[in-house]
Amino acid sequence: MKVLVPVKRVVDYNVKVRVKSDGTGVDIANVKMSMNPFDEIAVEEAVRLKEAGIASEVIVVSAGVAGCQETLRTAMAIGADRGILIESDADLQPLAVAKLIKAVADKEQPQVVIFGKQAIDDDSNQTGQMFAALQGWPQATFASKVVIADGKATVTREVDGGLETLEMALPAVVTTDLRLNEPRYATLPNIMKAKKKPLETVKPEDLGVDVAPRLKTLKVAEPAKRQAGVKVADVADLVSKLKNEAKVI
């Protein structure tokens, strides 16, 4: 059984993001980039499936600039077998990425595709669902537990009211939540081995996919600074401020 895992290169979660002075986007010049944390969880889950003898091959795919090769190598150091880079300098939006991954999936024929539930840069939370719709495959989002056996996937997912368990026939799509697993650190020997693993590079036009943006960003701005709180003397003072100043009651 093949498992396909899309991974995205994003600004490292430890970096303080700064908006460009002209408001056109986020400044990523000389900024540390790394694999999207939710995608790390997806890679870890795929590797665990392989270690359990359920999956025979784990393939990672990334769409973006040439620097995404580093992200793919990191995924291969965790345990993925090979990588595919869809190289493009275009502003890749969720629908375009879903179509690119569909083209790769049509070629590779995986039985399970595991996405991170969202990327920490745009927080769109769309690509996995769009891919499932394009493929016509069942999907389980926000997974906190995945069990695959007898041609079916049983997925426990986190919902507002608690937990929901779904059973799906394969092939299927899963998107990972934080509590699914704890990704391992890539060891130095595995990092060295990853450099020798196959990494294929293709272009969107090779896959027959139009990646022209369909949405236009008008302006990017930092959130307003939060104002300091104040202490109140008693309940009456609190109610007065809520009523007269905050105007919430």
Of 107, 25, 93, nearest to 63 by C-alpha is: 93
Q: Is 25 within the bounds of a domain?
A: yes
Q: Is the pLDDT assigned to residue 37 strictly greater than 90?
A: yes
The C-alpha atoms of residue 26 and residue 148 are separated, in whole angstroms, by: 40
Is there a contact between 144 and 180 (Cβ–Cβ < 8 Å)? yes
Query: What are the backbone angles phi and psi of residue 83, rounded to the nearest 5°?
Result: -130, 155
Q: Is 249 within the bounds of a domain?
A: no
Q: Mean pLDDT, the chain, as a whole number?
A: 92
Of the chain, the percentage scoring pLDDT greater than 90 comes to 74
Question: Judging by DSSP bridges, how do beta strands 162-169 and 152-159 pair with one another?
Answer: antiparallel
Q: Is 107 within the bounds of a domain?
A: yes
CATH of the domain at 84: 3.40.50.620
pLDDT, tens digit, 9 for 90 and up, residues 40-81:
999 999 999 999 999 999 999 999 999 999 999 999 999 999
192: containing domain? 2-244
Q: Is the pLDDT assigned to residue 146 strictly greater than 90?
A: yes
The C-alpha atoms of residue 159 and residue 223 are separated, in whole angstroms, by: 28
Q: Is 71 within the bounds of a domain?
A: yes
Count of domains forming the chain: 1
The C-alpha atoms of residue 138 and residue 134 are separated, in whole angstroms, by: 11
Is there a contact between 59 and 112 (Cβ–Cβ < 8 Å)? no
